[in-house]
Structure 1
Amino acid sequence: MSGRSGPERAAFPDVLDPLTGVRFFLALGVVLFHYQLYWTLPPESAGLLNRSRLGVDVFFILSGFILTHVYLQGDRPLDYRRFLAARFARVYPAHLFILLAMLGLVLAAPMFGVGLEPGRFNPTDFAATLFLVQAWFPRDTLVLWNGPAWSLSAEWFAYLAFPFYAALATRLRVRPWALIAIAAMLFVALDAVYRLQFGRVLPRAEDSMGILRIIPEFLYGVGLYYLGQRWTPSARTAVIGALATTAALLALMQLGADDRIIVVAAGPFILSLALLAKADVRTFLSHPVALFAGEASFALYLVHIPVLMVWRNAAQALAGWSGDYRMGMAELAAMLALTLVAAAAIHVFVEQPSRRWLRKRMASRPSDPVEARRSVHSDQGEPF
């Protein structure tokens, strides 16, 4: 990196296009991870796909990075009420829409001869998912109303805890390596606890105490942001850095490296993409199509499991296939196309209008231009 300066002199631009565009590819990786469990490729041919589920961890780091960028600049205090209102308006409409659609599907399933496991879709898990607390407690079973929403539960926990992150960040923003070190120590400690209690490494935490997974990773993103403020790369350096960190992350995933190593490598990857924006380098991630896809990635992440469930049940009912049938590539391509269309429709017709309506209704006093600007720019870092 060329040149160092204080945070104010080396500020990032308001909008970090590469971090918006890359969200689509991260969400698509999670989608393909779930799809590859049902297709005809042998397991050994899908090394990268088996690790693409760790896109969730990349998003947790990204959330800490972006929300620091938007809400923890200068000396203006955080308006916590407006912060939570903006976060709720951003994540809840699509979540509620898809959850209610799942409820309708579960209630309608018997009418179409689709059998459901007894107790699989129960009122307790529905309530936990509705209030986004399904990943806050130990449990032995998965919450199946919409499995991917566990990570949204973890995100909501981080939003509620944001004042604690803000207090720590304010004290240590001139010492970003200290923030990263604290995040690393938290990760090591929580990983040890999780392995002792549940027999799995921390990046495997989902429905059962998935909030432990986001706690250090969100802080990692905070520290990386302040570290990046110190660097002003040339365009050439920024491109080389982005290519190198991307290649390293993909190689580690393909080679089946330890999940925890991949989480560490995700940090430089996020930072390098942000530095592309700082160096004013435009790539395909800044193209309007990539930006729209990134903005719709949250809907894509939430809707892909319901589409998969409906598709496979329909195929079994219409064709008489067994429940464990393997999907061919043509079928997968058709299902993916349907999923992308559904995600785009939910983004345009549910997410966007609901977000605008909620933000207007939840503001009890005249809009503060600075807070309104913060809320809009924070959308670029929403998790999925």
Structure 2
Amino acid sequence: MPEFIIGVVLGTLVSRGWKRRLSLWWTGPLAVIAVVGDAFVPEALGRYAVTLVPFVLLVLSLAVAGLRSATGLFRSPVLVTLGVWSYCFYLLHGLALWISDAVAARLGLSSVVSVAMAHFLTLVAAWALHTFVEQPCERQLRPARPRVQAGVLRSRPGQR
């Protein structure tokens, strides 16, 4: 929940015009240092005390950099598609890790193979969940918007 709230606050800041540029040249390495430093502090401190601020700065710098550029790595079609699927990925990754860990243990496979299997399973399942559940539900829940053609407002077929 704290990460969600922080994400909402960051999104609100950026959508309301936060333009201050934070260099990826220092926010990226700072986040890497925080991840490494996390290994050397007690678990209760590591999750937030060491990594929170560096990751907030990294996310903010990536968001502002993405808005300033019409092209770039984060606007590539593959990454945009993965971003669209990301919520489904988030929902499914724990289950996929659990299943692949059990399968890997039964087959005597390494943990690296287990994690790779989990990521592949999650990606395929996220695509399926997005395509066959999320998109159809979204079409049903969103109100139909009228279309504009040649300066004339027309409703969608079947609407009056």
TM-score, length of structure 1 as denominator length: 0.31
- The letter for the 2-side match of 1:287 is S
Deviations 1:288-342 (A, max 9, x none): 10011111111111112222333445566xx4x8xxx884322332232122111
Q: Distance in 2 between matches of 1:300 and 1:359?
A: 22
Is it true that 1:276 corresponds to 2:58 in the alignment? no
Match of residue 266, structure 1, among 42, 48, 55: 55
- Would the aligned equivalents of 1:307 and 1:339 in 2 still touch at CA under 8 Å? yes
- Would the aligned equivalents of 2:100 and 2:114 in 1 still touch at CA under 8 Å? no
Match of residue 353, structure 1, among 124, 136, 154: 136
- The letter for the 1-side match of 2:65 is L
- The letter for the 1-side match of 2:142 is R
Cα distance change of structure 1 residues 273 and 339 upon mapping to structure 2, 3 Å threshold: same
Deviations 1:219-242 (A, max 9, x none): xxx4x765724x4x5xxxx6xx02
Match of 2:34 in 1: 252
Q: Compute the displacement of 1:349 (Å).
A: 1.5
Match of 2:112 in 1: 329
Cα distance change of structure 1 residues 275 and 338 upon mapping to structure 2, 3 Å threshold: same
Cα distance change of structure 1 residues 349 and 266 upon mapping to structure 2, 3 Å threshold: same
Q: Distance in 1 between matches of 2:2 and 2:24?
A: 18
Match of 1:294 in 2: 83
Specify the SS of the correspondent of 2:124.
helix
Q: Compute the displacement of 1:245 (Å).
A: 0.9
Kindly report which structure 2 residues correspond to 1:178-327, keeping only aligned pairs within 5 A, or say none: 222=13, 228-229=18-19, 231=20, 241-256=23-38, 258=46, 259-280=48-69, 282-313=71-102, 319=106, 327=110
Is it true that 1:340 corresponds to 2:123 in the alignment? yes
Deviations 1:265-301 (A, max 9, x none): 2222222112213422633111110011111111111
Q: Compute the displacement of 1:368 (Å).
A: 9.5
Deviations 1:165-185 (A, max 9, x none): xxxxxxxxxxxxxxxxxxxxx
Provide structure 1 residue ranges, at least 5 long, that are not aligned to the other structure.
1-55, 69-221, 361-365, 370-384
Provide structure 2 residue ranges, at least 5 long, that are not aligned to the other structure.
148-160
Cα distance change of structure 1 residues 368 and 253 upon mapping to structure 2, 3 Å threshold: farther
Deviations 1:26-82 (A, max 9, x none): xxxxxxxxxxxxxxxxxxxxxxxxxxxxxx75554222333x3xxxxxxxxxxxxxx
- The letter for the 1-side match of 2:136 is P
Give the alignment's Cα RMSD to 1 decimal: 3.3
Q: Compute the displacement of 1:348 (Å).
A: 1.6
- The letter for the 1-side match of 2:116 is A
Kindly report which structure 2 residues correspond to 1:42-121, keeping only aligned pairs within 5 A, or say none: 58-66=3-11, 68=12
Specify the SS of the correspondent of 2:10.
helix
- Would the aligned equivalents of 2:100 and 2:117 in 1 still touch at CA under 8 Å? no
Ranked by relative contact order (alpha carbons within 8 Å, sequence separation 6 or more), the top structure is: 1
**Runs ≥4 residues deviating over 4 A:** 56-59, 224-227, 312-316, 366-369
Deviations 1:145-173 (A, max 9, x none): xxxxxxxxxxxxxxxxxxxxxxxxxxxxx
- Would the aligned equivalents of 1:245 and 1:268 in 2 still touch at CA under 8 Å? yes
- Would the aligned equivalents of 1:225 and 1:271 in 2 still touch at CA under 8 Å? no
Deviations 1:114-160 (A, max 9, x none): xxxxxxxxxxxxxxxxxxxxxxxxxxxxxxxxxxxxxxxxxxxxxxx
Match of 2:151 in 1: none
Kindly report which structure 2 residues correspond to 1:355-370, keeping only aligned pairs within 5 A, or say none: 355-360=138-143
Cα distance change of structure 1 residues 58 and 287 upon mapping to structure 2, 3 Å threshold: farther
Match of 2:155 in 1: none
- The letter for the 1-side match of 2:126 is A
Q: Compute the displacement of 1:252 (Å).
A: 1.0
TM-score, length of structure 2 as denominator length: 0.67
Q: Percent identity?
A: 25
Specify the SS of the correspondent of 1:265.
helix
- The letter for the 2-side match of 1:248 is L
